[in-house]
Amino acid sequence: MSRYDFQIPVTFKHRIVFTRDAFSAGNPALAELLSEGGGRRAMVFVEETVAAVWPDLLDDILTYFSELDLDFRGTSVFPGGEAAKADDTLVKEVWAAIDAAHLDRHSYALVIGGGAFLDAVGYAAATAHRGVRLVRFPTTTLSQDDSGVGVKCAINSFGKKNWVGSFAVPYAVINDFSFLHSQDEETRRGGLIEAVKVALVRDREFFTWIEENLELLAALEPEALEACVEKSALLHARHIATGGDAFETGSSRPLDFGHWAAHKLEAMTHYQLFHAPAVGVGLALDTLYSARAGLLSFSIATQVLQVLDGLGISIYHPALDWLDDSGRRRVFDGLDEFREHLGGELTVLLLKDLGEGVDVHEIDEVLLGECINELRTRWESRG
């Protein structure tokens, strides 16, 4: 027998830009990024709701590209929201558009929309020609402060969130704050849950900053909101780039704090419960469990729950109490699915302190149930 092992190192540049009015004539950010890559063609995919809120956007895009030395292949508008990644319908439509426009591996696919839309179009771009350069324009708080700067793209399948997907570092991410302020209040505020999450697991000082600016954030004061989004996005990106496991070959996933329950709750409710409020519930549950398991002081757990209250983020959803035929809470299946997704060993990050997590490999479902009961009581006491 002969065996030969070869190391194949791969290096990516993760470009992240914060700006506003990216398609205005006086903003060079996008033009500089496209010029840097030397690509020859470009096409833009826009989420339908974004196009409706910004009626001049398509004309602005056309005007912007008319000034560039680039073969612009037009703009396509598609429905978005969670339905965009419920199956592969949108992926196939984007593949067809990429093929019809003759985009290649040196071309650019620009995508403008919320996280689910970015996921579906991103997966199509990652798999067309085994990778067309993707430029993301996240438009929601949730996508600007977290998923938009990530290196994953996926759609749902087999009743599970993100079951089909790929790791694909985007060519660039442009966080245009003009889009950020066009969301409704609930969407803007709810997306801050990922900022709270990354502060809890990576940066104590950032969590303190959120506490100190809680009233401004709850009021969606523009300067505070933008600062929070930028701090969160950079913490996420820095962890991915420097944390040692950008493509999740191991089992430790600190950025998924609170997500085992969140993903299951989304699927259980057929995605009527959106990702942001689902993460709020999951984060509250894992924070309280951390305290009840003796890992975290109850005073810190109280601090976290007070921040969620201050932001108007719910800590409970009735689906937490839905039972299967055996009387077991159905949400606990999320632990089994997390274990399977990670390769057989359950690894859940819990909190040890502000900014400091700890991996555990067993969860006490009786204790977890007691935490759910407490969250329900707290939720009901709010009226």
Domain count, the chain: 2
Domain that holds residue 246: 202-381
Q: Which distant-in-sequence residues (6+ apart) come within 8 Å of 294 by Cβ?
A: none
Q: What is the pLDDT of residues 227-249, one digit of tens each?
A: 999 999 999 999 999 988 888 87
Residues 89 and 153 placed together within one structural domain of the fold = yes
Sign of CA dihedral 303, 309, 311, 313: positive
Residue 83 vs residues 183, 214, 331, 342, 354: alpha-carbon distances, Å: 19, 32, 22, 26, 36
At 102, which CATH number?
A: 3.40.50.1970
Placement of tokens 């990050």 in the chain: 349
Among 177, 47, 196, which residue's Cα sits nearest to residue 112?
Answer: 47
Residues 165 and 259 placed together within one structural domain of the fold = no
Token pair recorded at residue 234: 């950079």
Token pair recorded at residue 318: 């009735």
What DSSP designation does 83 have? G
Rounded mean pLDDT of 200-210? Answer: 97
Residues 352 and 320 placed together within one structural domain of the fold = yes
CA dihedral 21, 231, 313, 86 (to 10 degrees): 60
Q: Is residue 156 part of a domain?
A: yes
Q: What is the mean pLDDT of the chain?
A: 95
Backbone phi and psi for residue 222, each to the nearest 5 degrees, phi listed first: -55, -45
Rounded mean pLDDT of 346-366? Answer: 95
pLDDT top residue among 269 and 40? 269
pLDDT of 383 over the 70 cut: no
The percentage of residues in the chain with a pLDDT greater than 70, rounded to a whole number, is 99
At 347, which CATH number?
A: 1.20.1090.10
Placement of tokens 């007691």 in the chain: 370
Residues 102 and 210 placed together within one structural domain of the fold = no
Give the pLDDT confidence score for residue 39 in this predicted structure: 86
pLDDT of 264 over the 90 cut: yes
Among 79, 81, 105, which residue's Cα sits nearest to residue 93?
Answer: 79
Rounded mean pLDDT of 148-176? Answer: 95
CA dihedral 313, 206, 265, 92 (to 10 degrees): 110
Residues 103 and 235 placed together within one structural domain of the fold = no
Residues 260 and 319 placed together within one structural domain of the fold = yes
Q: What is the pLDDT of residues 9-54, one digit of tens each?
A: 889 999 999 999 999 999 999 999 999 998 889 999 999 999 999 9
Residues 106 and 172 placed together within one structural domain of the fold = yes
Give the pLDDT confidence score for residue 53 in this predicted structure: 96
Token pair recorded at residue 227: 């600062």
Give the pLDDT confidence score for residue 340 in this predicted structure: 77
β strands within 20-176, DSSP E: 41-47, 71-78, 108-113, 133-138, 152-157, 160-167, 172-176
Q: How does residue 251 score in pLDDT terms, banded at 50, 70 and 90?
A: confident
Token pair recorded at residue 206: 């950032």
Secondary structure of 270-303 as H, E, C letters? CCCCCHHHHHHHHHHHHHHHHHHCCCCCHHHHHH
Rounded mean pLDDT of 206-234? Answer: 97
Q: Is residue 225 part of a domain?
A: yes
Q: Is residue 232 part of a domain?
A: yes
Q: Is residue 83 part of a domain?
A: yes
Token pair recorded at residue 92: 């196939």
Rounded mean pLDDT of 262-289? Answer: 96
Residues 359 and 222 placed together within one structural domain of the fold = yes
CA distance 126 to 246: 17
Q: Is residue 358 part of a domain?
A: yes
Rounded mean pLDDT of 202-208? Answer: 97
Q: Is residue 123 part of a domain?
A: yes
pLDDT of 221 over the 90 cut: yes
Of the candidate ranges 101-110, 117-126, 201-210, 344-353, the one whose mean pLDDT is the lowest: 344-353
Q: What is the reported pTM? A: 0.94
Residues 25 and 174 placed together within one structural domain of the fold = yes
Of the candidate ranges 66-70, 281-285, 298-302, 379-383, the one whose mean pLDDT is the lowest: 379-383
Q: Which distant-in-sequence residues (6+ apart) come within 8 Å of 162 by Cβ?
A: 119, 152, 154, 155, 156, 263
Give the pLDDT confidence score for residue 284 in this predicted structure: 98
Residues 249 and 341 placed together within one structural domain of the fold = yes
pLDDT of 342 over the 70 cut: no
Residues 243 and 357 placed together within one structural domain of the fold = yes
